[in-house]
Amino acid sequence: MQQLPPDLVPTSYELDEDHALLHLSWSDGHESLHSYEALRRACPCAWCSGEGGFAGNMSATTPLSPEMVTLYELTMVGRYGLTPIWGDGHKTGIYTYERLRGMCECDECRLARADKQPA
């Protein structure tokens, strides 16, 4: 996982409900893009992603209800992460800044990641 400079933090966010997209602005000027569904499927909490050898309840094929992929708001977790609050009340996933930057869906980041992976 890439290390981020300690002063690289999200400064604000915007919820684009029409497109189910989260826009995050960062202190380095980058704006990261995250679709609600991709975010929810990547939820790192123990219930979703599993823990200690137990499979999680969330996989790439888990059916999601509209509530599960509705993002209400983001709350800060200490100085290292954000927790989304979802329409179904789920709010146990802590997405670290590294993770969020690593899953940014903007063209620039997609291309940068594609470059690193042999086709």
Q: Which of residues 76 and 92 has its CB atom nearest to Zn ion in the complex?
A: 92
> How big is the chain by its Cα radius of gyration, in Å?
14
Q: Which of residues 15 and 91 has its CB atom nearest to Zn ion in the complex?
A: 91
The helix (H) or strand (E) run that includes residue 100 is helix 97-102
* Site size for Zn ion (CB under 5 A): 8
Site mask, Zn ion, residues 42-81, x = CB under 5 A? -x-x--x---------------------------------
Positions that interact with Zn ion (CB under 5 A): 32, 43, 45, 48, 93, 104, 106, 109
